[in-house]
Structure 1
């Protein structure tokens, strides 16, 4: 009996020793799972726009800080190319896809493809009208449009002849900024023209030239991004006119024009913060944390 008790005690000691030797390994295994290098794909609408360049740089920098691998692809403002880019990211087996849509309606099929592959999607700056999205990271574009409209009304006054340069048709940013602007000025100013210039500086110049030829009485312009606002300024200066112009994004070029007194104001979106917030939300979700359906990024009027 004594021999049996001694044998039992020896066996228990061996088991306890083995467990204590295993625990550091188990702890390290758990840490490696938590600190896994996630692969994140980012389909961005265009890198031919300073706003989105800054946004992508914010995402890239934060991904490096978080220890995540990021692959950024440029859709070049082409909804078909964006759909193809997302399919490529799916084939690469990324853990999550960030999408900054060219067209909020057209991107739905790409989101649904990612859903079918079991890859979570987060939209950035612009939303998707269909498909399942984990979270949306953006400024409140409607509120930004209201800010622009209220300030334009303050500068130009009630009854002013106003034109609006719209962004890419079908994008949620264009739709929401326009809706916010109209909410602030409708019934208080005379909107003589509202045309798309696709968030592009060159198109902003051409469209504004045509607007001024058809409506030389225009007194104020709201451009739904700074690139179009800067193009409009070129056309206005060439025509020798003094017209209030308000943009959106507060890019470096726009801020320089505000300091010169040529651009009245711009709504600052803080693209770098949007990019950082997108990565932070993506990594949190991949780590099993609960994330908000909408993560707003603060904006302000710069004048």
Structure 2
């Protein structure tokens, strides 16, 4: 009998065969959205690893909606899944989903974004604090230790936005010549990154650099900067294909590269271990690197 993995990537998209295995063999993965290249890559990595391990992988898309995410989790729990993996739409909002799984005695593993409540047996993610600090250090070096900097934040309430911001400020707040002239959320979205950056450009006559909490916002900010005709360096985060291409063509100074496919693959591997009764680490960090031209 084939073992089944059910993945919820926050709308419901079904990939693979229907669930036919016994409850003890079923694993569920909950991810936030397929409307972001990073999470598409994460999904691809999970699918590839599931195939290699002999699992059928089903993917559900919650469309960045915590209510849909909770509904997806409840649907999966009604199928008596053995392990639930979640990439939260929001670290606070996902607590209800995690606690629902806890009440059903279903182990929970989080990917990329942590849950701020409930019991989680393992968390697999990049060290976002270290990555944010790396981005800050890249900007400080590029500016020679002095300049006006804008921070485009991710979705408020997510651990990724919080941790990337924390690491970034560890670096820039210690640099006496660096001034943060604006720090606003753009929700990890390219269009919002464009719109927010346009407003900041109008309000701030002096900007030397931008740190965006992900490549999507960075790419939106670059479009706004190019339209303004101003010379401003931009550093992104995630190392998506579009982000790396922007570094290579010189429109972005750097991106802090995560290994999205590896996070997805490690999630599947960890879920399989939990399902078979093996011990797993409480936290598995995935290495980061600064990609520059």
State TM-score, norm by structure 1: 0.86
Choose which of 129, 137, 153 in structure 2 pairs with 1:142: 129
Aligned to 1:250: 239
Choose which of 74, 79, 101 in structure 1 pairs with 2:88: 101
Following the alignment from structure 1 to structure 2, what is the Cα–Cα distance between the partners of residues 70 and 128?
Answer: 23
Contact 2:24 2:275 in 1 (8 A): no
Aligned to 1:14: none
Choose which of 241, 244, 256 in structure 2 pairs with 1:267: 256
State the 1:187 CA deviation: 4.3
Compare 74-83 and 228-237 and name the one that shifted more: 74-83
Aligned to 1:211: 200
Following the alignment from structure 1 to structure 2, what is the Cα–Cα distance between the partners of residues 104 and 150?
Answer: 27
Contact 1:38 1:69 in 2 (8 A): no
Aligned to 2:285: 296
How far does the alpha carbon of each residue in 1:63-100 deviate from its partner, in whole angstroms, 9 at most, with x for none? 12122333321111111111111111111222211100
**Higher strand share goes to which structure?**
2
Aligned to 1:284: 273
Contact 1:37 1:69 in 2 (8 A): no
Following the alignment from structure 1 to structure 2, what is the Cα–Cα distance between the partners of residues 93 and 99?
Answer: 16
Following the alignment from structure 1 to structure 2, what is the Cα–Cα distance between the partners of residues 182 and 125?
Answer: 20
Compare 39-48 and 137-146 and name the one that shifted more: 39-48
Gaps of 5+ in 2: 1-22
Aligned to 2:66: 79
Following the alignment from structure 1 to structure 2, what is the Cα–Cα distance between the partners of residues 42 and 152?
Answer: 36
**In structure 2, the residue corresponding to 1:160 is in which secondary structure?**
strand
State how 1:194-233 maps to structure 2 within 5 Å.
194-233=183-222
Following the alignment from structure 2 to structure 1, what is the Cα–Cα distance between the partners of residues 147 and 200?
Answer: 15
Following the alignment from structure 1 to structure 2, what is the Cα–Cα distance between the partners of residues 241 and 263?
Answer: 14
Choose which of 160, 163, 167 in structure 2 pairs with 1:176: 163
State the 1:282 CA deviation: 0.8
Choose which of 167, 173, 185 in structure 2 pairs with 1:186: 173
Aligned to 1:158: 145
State TM-score, norm by structure 2: 0.89
How far does the alpha carbon of each residue in 1:172-193 deviate from its partner, in whole angstroms, 9 at most, with x for none? 0000000000000104210010
How far does the alpha carbon of each residue in 1:127-167 deviate from its partner, in whole angstroms, 9 at most, with x for none? 00111111000000000001100010000233310000000
Following the alignment from structure 2 to structure 1, what is the Cα–Cα distance between the partners of residues 54 and 106?
Answer: 19
**Higher helix share goes to which structure?**
1
Is 1:121 the counterpart of 2:130? The answer is no
